[in-house]
Amino acid sequence: QVQLVESGGGLVQPGGSLRLSCAASGSIFNIQAMGWYRQFPGKQRELVADITSDGRTNYADSVKGRFTISRDNAKHMYLQMNSLKPEDTAVYYCNADIKTAWGTRYRDYWGQGTQVTVSS
């Protein structure tokens, strides 16, 4: 069984910072791309940033220059969020493209989500 677990969400004032973490565990053979998504109430989940296994990154225009995605090994990913704005308030989800030890192809896995609230 594969699990993605996010941590690091919470309440922060506008202009503040938070660092989200995502840890993958279970019978994992390999992980290709990983990414962070967010979901606003009543809206579809949207990409925040993603990172390939060789470190190439991609960001939504709304977070460029403020957020930084990184991976320190194959199974851990981070999102450093600076200069947070009230409009960044959302549930943030970790996503990974994983091939399990018993699988024959890669498939998407999701974490349970972590709430980020930016408010004074």
The per-residue pLDDT string of the chain (120 residues; one tens digit each, 9 = 90 and over) reads: 899 999 999 999 999 999 999 999 999 999 999 999 999 999 999 999 999 999 999 999 999 999 999 998 779 999 999 999 999 999 999 999 999 988 889 999 999 999 999 999
SS3 53: coil
- The beta strands (E) that lie in 8-110 are given as 10-12, 18-26, 28-39, 46-51, 57-59, 67-73, 76-81, 90-100, 107-110
CA–CA gap between residue 94 and residue 112 (Å, rounded): 8
User: Which residues are CB-neighbours of 26 under 8 A, at least 6 positions away?
Assistant: 1, 2, 3, 100
